[in-house]
């Protein structure tokens, strides 16, 4: 089937949601993307950056507009109860079976860009060049980099602007646009703490890495509260702790996985130095025989939206979408690697938020405080309960991408 109608795209969305795939495993998703793009006239290249797909539609002189969507899912067990909920699982890079869910909305991003691809291909009024990038592995923070390293811009040309959107749990019909720093930079670390294992009944003969890990976890929480000023931004989260396999055995090591979000490069550098200082200091204090290892697993910069591009997209959305609400969502401490595409190309970026919640419960909002409270009560991205309302979110997402692209492509 070549999906062209709104109903067809709803079916595509449900299908992608039911069959999520982890980063660099998006083979089925990429195949659906490539088939659809070819069916509406794009020149398609698959396998860019392992599983990425690039679609080109060239109509001669004019701007080149890069529209980007990410395709990967998360190792989350879905609890939405939806009839199209995912029950899939897969083997991850560590060889462990994990559940799968589109808990961040990348299925919405992919389907909306497919819809925009059709709408723009059917519109004879524009000139220029469309460059559609369906990116793998955003959740790993390496998908954009992998496509760039695979010659994205050398092979397909340099765009004049990078555009995209991210679904978020606020009312559909509202869009969040922010000029300047919009999404935080992201760093992740894998820390291995080494102790000296032994019998659980004789801790005096050991160096317990679990107690060491507990000390490190508590001390790391003081970085943001005591070393980052109230006027600065940083978020430090320990998202994974693994040690031991039995109640009566003190293990030899413990592993922590840490996420850091920041905006100011100076704050980022200060926090990273503090992480290293605390980890090494606590290991020394515990009498560990071996230095801990600190592996910087990934790093990508803050998404900084260009002021002029933000104004142009704002004007395009308000002109093209009746009743649209455009708000400034403030700095988002979540992160996105889309900024790397613009940075590598040396061009402006404009990445906005797409409201994805059913707007009906927000009809009688009485104040900004009331709105914030209702939004805060909704399941957030990465929650096992996260589920955008397909209608009206999907058609609005299609319209937004199309309108934004045309702001550069209209003669």
Query: Among 91-100, 122-131, 171-180, 367-376, which stretch is predicted with the lowest mean pLDDT?
Result: 367-376
* Bridge partner list, 299: 187
Strands 180-194 and 293-300, how do they pair? antiparallel
Q: Determine phi and psi for 8, rounding to 5 degrees.
A: -60, -40
pLDDT of 323 over the 80 cut = yes
Q: Judge whether 139 is annotated as a binding position.
A: yes
59 within 8 A of 123, measured Cβ to Cβ? no
Per-residue pLDDT tens over the stretch 199-251: 999 999 999 999 999 999 999 999 999 999 999 999 999 999 999 999 999 99
Where, residue-wise, is CATH 3.30.70.360 in the chain? Answer: 186-299
pTM: 0.92
Strands 349-357 and 174-176, how do they pair? antiparallel
Q: What does the mean pLDDT of the chain come to? A: 96
What pLDDT does residue 1 have? 32
Residue with the larger pLDDT of the pair 47 and 360: 47
Cα 189 to Cα 62, 73, 280, 334, 411, distances in angstroms: 43, 21, 14, 16, 47
pLDDT of 2 over the 50 cut = no
What pLDDT does residue 367 have? 81
* DSSP structure class, residue 50: T
Q: Judge whether 106 is annotated as a binding position.
A: yes
Quote the strand ranges of 307-398, DSSP E: 325-327, 332-335, 349-357
Where, residue-wise, is CATH 3.40.630.10 in the chain? Answer: 6-179+306-409
| N residues, the chain | 411
User: Across residues 267-284, what is the average pLDDT?
Assistant: 98
Residue 391's CB is within 10 A of a number of other CB atoms, namely: 12
Sheet-wide strand order for 129-135: 43-48, 52-58, 129-135, 64-70, 161-171, 349-357, 174-176, 325-327
Name the packing angle between helices 27-39 and 106-121 (round to 10°): 10
Topology given in CATH for the domain delimited by 6-179+306-409: Aminopeptidase (3.40.630)
345 within 8 A of 65, measured Cβ to Cβ? no
Per-residue pLDDT tens over the stretch 81-110: 999 999 999 999 889 999 999 999 999 999
If residue 185 lies in a helix (H) or strand (E), which one and from where to where?
A: strand 180-194
What pLDDT does residue 374 have? 87
304 within 8 A of 339, measured Cβ to Cβ? yes
pLDDT tier, 361 (very low <50, low <70, confident <90, very high otherwise): confident
What pLDDT does residue 35 have? 98
Residue 119's CB is within 10 A of a number of other CB atoms, namely: 18
Q: Judge whether 4 is annotated as a binding position.
A: no
If residue 171 lies in a helix (H) or strand (E), which one and from where to where?
A: strand 161-171
Structure tokens at 207: 């160096």
305 within 8 A of 176, measured Cβ to Cβ? no
12 within 8 A of 111, measured Cβ to Cβ? yes
Architecture of the 186-299 domain? 2-Layer Sandwich (3.30)
Q: How many angstroms separate the CA atoms of 356 and 271, rounded?
A: 33
The rounded percent of the chain whose pLDDT value lies above 70 is 98
């Amino acid at each position: 089937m070549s999906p062209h109608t709104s109903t067809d795209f709803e079916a595509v969305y449900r299908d992608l949601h039911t069959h999520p795939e982890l980063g660099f495993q998006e083979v089925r998703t990429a195949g659906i993307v490539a088939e659809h793009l070819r069916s509406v006239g794009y020149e398609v290249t698959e396998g860019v950056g392992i599983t990425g797909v690039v679609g080109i539609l060239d109509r001669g002189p004019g701007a080149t507009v890069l529209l980007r969507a990410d395709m990967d899912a998360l190792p989350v067990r879905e609890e939405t109860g939806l009839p199209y909920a995912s029950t899939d699982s897969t083997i991850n890079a560590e060889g462990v079976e994990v559940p799968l869910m589109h808990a961040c909305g990348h299925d919405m991003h992919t389907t909306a860009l497919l819809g925009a691809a059709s709408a723009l291909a059917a519109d004879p009024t524009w000139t220029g060049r469309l460059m559609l990038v369906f990116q793998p592995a955003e959740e790993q923070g390496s998908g954009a980099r992998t496509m760039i390293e695979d010659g994205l811009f050398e092979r397909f040309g340099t765009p004049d602007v990078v555009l995209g959107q991210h679904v978020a749990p606020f009312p559909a019909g509202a869009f969040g646009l922010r000029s300047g720093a919009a999404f935080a930079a992201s760093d992740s670390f894998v820390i291995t703490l080494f102790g000296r294992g032994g019998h659980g009944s004789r801790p005096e003969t050991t160096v317990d890495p679990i107690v060491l890990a507990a000390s490190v976890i508590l001390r790391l929480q003081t970085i943001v509260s005591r070393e980052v000023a109230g006027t600065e931004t940083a978020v430090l989260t320990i998202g994974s702790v693994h040690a031991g396999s039995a109640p009566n055995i003190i293990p030899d090591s413990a592993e922590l996985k840490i996420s850091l979000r920041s905006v100011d490069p100076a704050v980022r550098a200060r926090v990273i130095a503090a992480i290293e200082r605390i980890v090494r200091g606590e290991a020394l204090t515990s009498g560990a025989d071996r230095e801990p290892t600190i592996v910087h697993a990934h790093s990508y910069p803050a998404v900084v939206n260009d002021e002029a591009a933000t104004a142009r997209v704002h004007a395009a959305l308000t002109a093209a979408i009746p009743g649209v609400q455009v708000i400034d969502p403030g700095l988002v401490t979540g992160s996105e690697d889309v900024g790397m595409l613009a940075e590598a190309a040396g061009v402006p970026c404009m990445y906005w938020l797409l409201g994805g919640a059913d707007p009906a419960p927000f009809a009688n909002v009485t104040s900004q405080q009331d709105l914030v409270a209702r939004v805060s009560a909704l399941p957030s991205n990465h929650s096992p309960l996260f589920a955008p309302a397909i209608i009206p979110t999907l058609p609005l997402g299609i319209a937004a991408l199309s309108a934004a692209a045309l702001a550069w492509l209209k003669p």
